Structure 1
Amino acid sequence: MKKTLCLLLVSLAGTIAPAQATEDTDLPVWAEEEITPLHERVTNWVDTTSRSIDGFFGTEKHLSVENESYLRIGPEIDWMEGDGVSTDLNLRYRLDMPTAEERLRLIIESDPEESQGTLAEQGSGRLANDQRDNRTSIAGLDWLESRDKRENWSNRFGAGIRLRLPLDPYVRFTSERLWSLGKSPWQLESHNRLSWFNNEGYSARTRWDLGRPLSQGRHLRFLTHIQWREEEDTLEYREIVELNHRLNKRSAIRYSAIALGESVSNPRMTDYYLQTRYRRDLHKNILFADIVPELHFPRESDYDPRWGMTLRLEMYFHRDLNRDFF
């Protein structure tokens, strides 16, 4: 695995020749020959493992139903002005067991929403692993209502444990809704979650996403995040304006302006960000590269700007190659 990741970094750094690129890949032949058998083996393992567990708890349909299990892995290199360069290896996974019951779903995932820390720790979201504890995997059961969120509130109840010692039981409730605003192209989506973890207490978060297409390849979004965690006992909020531009079938770019604040009784803004994220499908919808330059204006430094840059590769091991990972 390490050998393959090194080869991918070398490929990204400059061995990709435009003359070798085809309609669905930028990789030279030697890199494609390394990736293809690895991807097939690991994808088969992820798919077979999740369906086997699903078959044990569920029904005979486990072999034919759509399964959302995936594994995502890749290196990340980050530079921040004044802090130097850091590297990390991102690993995210989700095992989905859809046939356990008609509405009861067994889920094992590595990165629940509750593990991502405060909004200040998350910052602009530039880093995949920023301030996150790698021991945050959870296993639990989710009960889903069979409702279309475009017509009614769609609710989900979940309970389980965080997989670390001492074991940390949790309970959470999630509710979602999507509205089309009249006959206009604007849509408003709401995602809300109330959680309780035995070792951390209660938390509540809500996200409101207002957006509309501007053209066939451009989409405008206004996002509001509000979060409260019992550990900090501070209300945090984040406002984001995004312009997403799909350059072509395999490339996209996002321009973002982000503001973070906290408190209700004495509200104040703590951080501002200007960010651009370029994403490229390097190989057949399984290997992606991100280039993320950013300008950060932190309150603690009197809003003096600091430059940051992140380079990241992500390989997805997922049976559905038609899934849009942009």
Structure 2
Amino acid sequence: MRPAIALFCVCAFFAPPLAADEEENDSDLPEWAENHVEPFRARVGNWVDNTSRNIDSFFGGDQSSSVDNGSYLRLGQEIDWMEGDGTSSDISVRYRIDLPTTEERLRLIIESDPEESQGTLADQGSGRLYNDQRDRRTSTLGLSWLERRDKRDNWSNRIGAGVRLRLPLDPYVRFTSERLWDIGEGPWQLESYNRLSWFNNSGYSARTQWDIGRPLSENRHLRFITTVQWREEEDTLEYSEVAQLNQRLNSRSALRYSAIAIGESVSNPRMTNYYLQTRYRRDIHKGILFADVIPELHFQREVSHDPRWAMTLRLEMYFQRDIKRDYFHF
């Protein structure tokens, strides 16, 4: 397994963009597979969109048929391997029902996993695991009040409240604030994301993330991300530092190179994990079917920082009426 991972990392780093005629082809599937996948995707995507709009129309009004709707359903299959821990596989389902016209600023949202269920920063930092694989009992139904502010000009705030749909029902309240600054006259930008929340069964949690980055070229973007998180049920302050280079190879493929450090505690601060990661993402079919290959090299404190290889292979399919081709948010 190690030679295969090392070979992939080298090949991925020096991989050239595909030729123009390859970019114009929007699918890697053979014709027989495409003929099966596309009708299925269209039926399920239309069902997801129509269902959310019908619910939105019941609560909100006639505008539900014309406004943008962020509802989606995502199915995924993942194989995860860590040296010393063996291989595991999982099938995941994630959904979000967005009801934008319930009120001008008050929005009803049903989703499969709240942010607070995503585990520790060690769980989140890798990006190898789906958020919804960490706790399958975290569907929420809630109202979110949105401020109509551009985060480039003012702090953009959002207040939400609702219940986690499991027995016993778990009420929650959440406050989120975001801001984006241009630094001087140059290309650098600084973005801040902050969240404070309370769940009846798990208590308080707080998270702040500061992301500074700039484009290096038309297809490359550099980011440095600092995250601090505290959760009452863990009662430990966690923090992470990430240096990240995103590279778009062509219209359907992208790479991300990351160096990540994760630590914890304030009274006795210590680093618990360092690792290097390469993530290759490919749009296999028309913005609805994606594949990820994610090799990593970990240096964990619990094993005396001895190097440990890890690899994740992931296939995911999105069901929406309007497909958004967003690889790495850059």
Q: How many angstroms apart in 2 are the aligned matches of 1:305 and 1:130?
A: 28
CA separation of 1:58/1:270 partners in 2, compared to 1, >3 Å: closer, same or farther?
Answer: same
Instruction: Give 1:15's aligned residue.
Output: none
Question: Shift of residue 130 of structure 1?
Answer: 8.0
Q: Please give the per-residue CA displacement for 1:96-140, whole angstroms capped at 9, x wherever unaligned.
A: 000000000000111211011111333412121586110111110
State whether residues 254 and 327 of structure 2, in contact with CA within 8 Å, keep that contact through their aligned partners in structure 1. Answer: no
Q: Secondary structure at the match of 2:48?
A: helix
Instruction: Give 2:99's aligned residue.
Output: 97
Amino acid at match of 2:46: N
Instruction: Give 1:79's aligned residue.
Output: 81
Q: Please give the per-residue CA displacement for 1:208-257, whole angstroms capped at 9, x wherever unaligned.
A: 11000000000000001100011111110011000000000100000000
Question: Shift of residue 324 of structure 1?
Answer: 2.4
Q: How many angstroms apart in 1 are the aligned matches of 2:285 and 2:22?
A: 12
Q: How many angstroms apart in 2 are the aligned matches of 1:193 and 1:148?
A: 18
Q: Please give the per-residue CA displacement for 1:8-31, whole angstroms capped at 9, x wherever unaligned.
A: xxxxxxxxxx99996111110111
Question: Shift of residue 322 of structure 1?
Answer: 4.5
Amino acid at match of 2:153: E
The two structures have a TM-score, normalised by structure 1, of 0.92
Instruction: Give 2:111's aligned residue.
Output: 109
The two structures have a TM-score, normalised by structure 2, of 0.91
What is the Cα-based RMSD across aligned positions, in Å? 1.7
Structure 1 unaligned spans of 5+: 1-17
Decide which of 293, 296, 300 is 2:295's aligned counterpart: 293
Q: How many angstroms apart in 2 are the aligned matches of 1:293 and 1:235?
A: 28
State whether residues 147 and 157 of structure 2, in contact with CA within 8 Å, keep that contact through their aligned partners in structure 1. Answer: yes
Q: How many angstroms apart in 2 are the aligned matches of 1:248 and 1:20?
A: 9
Q: Please give the per-residue CA displacement for 1:138-169, whole angstroms capped at 9, x wherever unaligned.
A: 11000001100000000000000001110000
State whether residues 77 and 88 of structure 1, in contact with CA within 8 Å, keep that contact through their aligned partners in structure 2. Answer: yes
CA separation of 1:322/1:117 partners in 2, compared to 1, >3 Å: closer, same or farther?
Answer: closer
Q: How many angstroms apart in 1 are the aligned matches of 2:133 and 2:101?
A: 34
Q: How many angstroms apart in 1 are the aligned matches of 2:227 and 2:317?
A: 28
State whether residues 236 and 260 of structure 1, in contact with CA within 8 Å, keep that contact through their aligned partners in structure 2. Answer: yes
Q: Please give the per-residue CA displacement for 1:51-88, whole angstroms capped at 9, x wherever unaligned.
A: 01100110210000000111111200111111111111
Seq. identity, %: 74
CA separation of 1:131/1:71 partners in 2, compared to 1, >3 Å: closer, same or farther?
Answer: closer
Return 211-220 or 131-140, whichever deviates more.
131-140
Instruction: Give 1:181's aligned residue.
Output: 183
Q: Does 1:154 align with 2:141?
A: no
Amino acid at match of 1:227: Q
Decide which of 284, 305, 308 is 1:306's aligned counterpart: 308
Question: Shift of residue 177 of structure 1?
Answer: 0.3
Instruction: Give 1:234's aligned residue.
Output: 236
State whether residues 228 and 234 of structure 1, in contact with CA within 8 Å, keep that contact through their aligned partners in structure 2. Answer: yes
Amino acid at match of 1:255: Y
Total equivalences in the alignment: 309
State whether residues 20 and 26 of structure 1, in contact with CA within 8 Å, keep that contact through their aligned partners in structure 2. Answer: no
Instruction: Give 2:317's aligned residue.
Output: 315
Written as runs of structure 1 = structure 2, the 5 A alignment for 1:242-257 is 242-257=244-259
Higher RCO (C-alpha under 8 Å, 6+ residues apart): 2
State whether residues 21 and 27 of structure 1, in contact with CA within 8 Å, keep that contact through their aligned partners in structure 2. Answer: no
CA separation of 1:178/1:129 partners in 2, compared to 1, >3 Å: closer, same or farther?
Answer: closer
State whether residues 160 and 174 of structure 2, in contact with CA within 8 Å, keep that contact through their aligned partners in structure 1. Answer: yes
State whether residues 93 and 110 of structure 1, in contact with CA within 8 Å, keep that contact through their aligned partners in structure 2. Answer: yes
Q: How many angstroms apart in 2 are the aligned matches of 1:21 and 1:265?
A: 53
Q: How many angstroms apart in 2 are the aligned matches of 1:97 and 1:315?
A: 22
Q: Secondary structure at the match of 1:52?
A: helix
Instruction: Give 2:39's aligned residue.
Output: 37
State whether residues 159 and 169 of structure 1, in contact with CA within 8 Å, keep that contact through their aligned partners in structure 2. Answer: yes
Runs of 4+ that moved beyond 3 A: 18-22
